[in-house]
Amino acid sequence: MATTTAAAPLRRDPARGKLGGVAAGMADRTGLDPWAVRAGFVIAAIAGGWGIALYLLLWAVIPESEESTGARRFATGRSAVEVGLGSALLLLAALLAARKAGVWWSDAAVWPLILIAGGGALLWRQSLAGTADEPGAPPLADEPDPAVRARRRAAVVSRTGLGVALVIASPLVFLALTGALTAARDVALAAIAVAVALAVIFAPFVTRLVRSLADERASRIREQERAEMAAHLHDSVLQTLALMQQRADNPRQVATLARRQERELRAWLDGQRRGTDVAAPPTLGAALEAVASEVEADHGVPVEVVAVGEGAGLDEHGEALVAAAREAMVNAVKHGGGEAVRVYAEVTPEAVQVFVRDRGPGFDPACVPGDRRGVRESIVGRMARHGGRATVHATPGLGTEIELVLPREGA
């Protein structure tokens, strides 16, 4: 320790110093007690006053030690306002002392100088302290609580505003006290008059310019939307219309094409309206809609889907549910007598339910015919494996309805 300090160059140490760190730095360099150095300065000051001059000189010429620069220098634990006020009072004291000593100039300079000192100290403290606007607090940007962050930011802004106001006020006070403000006021009035006149002359141009820029932007956005819409229609609707013309002799195919296109277009419009994120996993309703569209295309029987209470994206069990629903739909379009098949899905906090209903003659689940084995295997079995159940309601005259229930996790 001793050797390193001895070899170290002379540096002020404001972190440990009482005033500017000169005495502490010298003590460090020489190995003396800092208080001894300070006592020397005080004695020299009382003796002939040159102690103060020497101190100020040393303070000015000795560079500050590196480890105490930056934010650390200002981590004094005092608020910026206190520092500003203190600086102003110190200067006032110094000026009064100078007056007493007979070194005096116009009184008009006193108040402006004090204002400048206070405001300047406030600003410097504010800007140099950087993010450490409150002693011991984390940097403003890291403040976790948004309310506290807003309050602290407001405090910083108001302190800075106060500093700026003080600094601006000081020349005005000086001018007012020396009587120069009257002249300055005339000039300012003239400048304001010219500015108003210019504003009146140019305001229409400026507003027109701003408006035309906004118009242009809006029309560009519209144009973009139109282009996007045209691209989509071209890829989908026009293609389908061309296909339908080719297949005009096959009404069933035409109907299927038309329905598939309708479904696609609706999904697209819906997505446009809601701004749906395409990358998000499909919801139950969307997945059922997609499956219904496939079944419809394969079998040529319309499948209508109504989904209520769309939840989050599908998990593994939800996918099994959709697969089971697909089997149920296939079953329904095969045996439903050609009338539209209705699919209803409802997501509640407790469970997900899907009903697939056709208007076929209905059948007794107890004596499932051989060709309907699929019901047992791919619907009932699959649901059971995923913790759900499937029930077939078949009432003669009411058609057949397959009910799929999947309890939701955590319910």
Partner 1 sequence: MSAADPADPGAAPRVILVDDHRLFRSGVRAELRELVDVVGEAETVDEAVALIAEARPDVVLLDVHMPDGGGVEVLRRAADAGTSARFLALSVSDAAEDVIAVIRAGARGYVTKSISPAELADAVMRVHEGDAVFSPRLAGFVLDAFAGPAGGATRPAGRAAPAARADADLDTLTPREREVLQLLARGYLYKEIALRLSISAKTVEAHVSAVLRKLQLSNRHELSRWAVERRLVE
Nearer to partner 1, 127 or 348 (CB): 348
Select the residue interacting with partner 1 from 215, 235, 270, 298 (CB under 8 A): 270
HSE (side-chain half, CA atoms, 13 Å) at 256: 15
Q: At its nearest, how many Å lie between partner 1 and the CB of residue 349? A: 6
For the chain, count helices (H), then strands (E): 15, 5
Least CB distance to partner 1 at residue 273 (A): 7
Token pair 């002392």: residue: 97
The sign of the dihedral angle between the CA atoms of 216, 218, 224, 229 is negative
Query: What is the three-class DSSP state of 303?
Result: strand
Full strand arrangement of the beta sheet holding 399-407:
303-308, 341-347, 351-358, 399-407, 389-395
Residue 315-354 contact track with partner 1, rule CB under 8 A, x = bound:
-------------------------x-x-x-xxxxx----
Under the criterion CB under 8 A, does residue 355 sit at the interface with partner 1?
yes
Binding mask of the shown chain, residues 41 to 60, with x at each position contacting partner 1 by CB under 8 A: --------------------
- Identify residues 53-112 at the interface with partner 1 (CB under 8 A): none
Element (H, E) at 227: helix 181-233
State yes or no: residue 398 binds partner 1 (CB under 8 A).
yes
Output the smallest distance, CB 308 to partner 1, in A: 5
What residue type is assigned to position 394 of the chain? A
Number of residues that bind partner 1 (CB under 8 A): 24
310 binds partner 1 (CB under 8 A): yes
Contacting partner 1 within 165-224 (CB under 8 A)? none
Q: Does 269 bind partner 1 (CB under 8 A)?
A: yes
Q: How many CB atoms lie within 10 A of CB 405?
A: 17
Q: Take residue 381 and report the two structure tokens written for it.
A: 């079995």
Residue type present at position 408: R
With CB under 8 A as the contact rule, the residue among 32, 36, 218, 308 that binds partner 1 is 308
Distance (Å, whole) CA 323 – CA 378: 8
Which residues in this chain contact partner 1 in the complex, by CB under 8 A?
266, 269-270, 273, 302, 304, 306-311, 340, 342, 344, 346-350, 355, 357, 398, 401
